[in-house]
Structure 1
Amino acid sequence: MTVNQGGASAVRIDVWLWAVRIFKTRSQAAEAVRAGHVKINDQAVKPATQVVPGERVRVWKDHRYLEFEVTGTTSKRVGAPLARSMYIDVSPPSPPRDVCAALPVRDRGAGRPTKKDRRAIDRLRGAR
């Protein structure tokens, strides 16, 4: 197993995201990179882009941004305790669950909103 803590060994970004358990599979990691959901130092990248310790990786996952500072690289998937030592999580805190749960939800199968419903939605959004 090749584990490099703090050295300058470069590894592909899709491999690194998979190896440190940000994504469950390498194909999911590569797909996220191709879709533009992964940035290194605020630059859009391709799956084969090399990442080295000291760089900042920003990932859009589960409807929020995760930010990591790379402290180590590995080309093999490692256990969770070792994976957490490969990066420093500098992500902003997630919003409280009660805020997310308080959003209004329209009943499934209720059809299109009526004119009255649409006006209420507009008022809620602050459009009027």
Structure 2
Amino acid sequence: MSEVQDHPQAVRADVWLWAARFFKTRSLAKQAIDGGKVDLNGAGCKPSKAVHVGDRLQIGRGEERIEVVVAALSGQRGPAPVAQALYRETEESLAAREAARAQRRLGAAGLLRPPTRPDKQARRQIMKFKDEQSQE
């Protein structure tokens, strides 16, 4: 009986996403699945859908889209190294996430931030400039 619990044949999708640390709570995983942010083997998914080893999951979190292949099953949330062993991210997903990260970095390059916080005199100049802009 303990072997069945140690090595399950299938786990609910929301439980697996929670155990693999894609979502902080199981209810957040359920909300993401209900909201259409998770696809199982290219099709929609329900929270109670069974996940098996070898299944392909597409997970959307914010702007990033992660595609993983299920490597192992677990119904318990464990430490991060154990959770990372539950899946393997595809090469296409890694490349797409790296390209998106580079694009965001390039987009923010136009926003040159000052090396330090403005001092009292600079803050006064900023406030004066903003007041002049709002009056125009």
CA contact (8 A) 1:16 1:74 kept: yes
CA contact (8 A) 1:33 1:46 kept: yes
- Structure number with higher helix proportion: 2
Deviation at 1:101, TM superposition (A): 2.1
Runs of at least 5 residues in structure 1 that lack an aligned partner in the other structure: 105-128
Runs of at least 5 residues in structure 2 that lack an aligned partner in the other structure: 112-136
The letter of the residue matching 2:108 is A
Query: What TM-score do the two structures reach when normalised by structure 1?
Result: 0.71
Greater than 3 Å deviation, 4+ residue runs: 1-4
Aligned equivalents of 1:11, 1:56: Cα separation in 2: 14
Where 1:72 maps in the other structure, the secondary structure is: coil
Q: 1:24 to 1:12 in 2, by over 3 A?
A: same
The aligned runs of 1:74-85 (5 Å cut-off) are: 74-85=74-85
The letter of the residue matching 1:69 is V
Higher RCO (CA 8 Å, separation ≥ 6 residues): 1
Q: 1:45 to 1:81 in 2, by over 3 A?
A: same
Matching residue of 2:106: 99
The letter of the residue matching 1:89 is E
Determine which structure has more spread, i.e. the larger CA radius of gyration.
2
Q: After superposition, what is the alpha-carbon deviation per residue over 1:100-123, rounded to whole angstroms, capped at 9, x for unaligned?
A: 42589xxxxxxxxxxxxxxxxxxx
Matching residue of 1:57: 57
Aligned equivalents of 2:64, 2:109: Cα separation in 1: 18
Identity of aligned residues (%): 36
- Structure number with higher strand proportion: 1
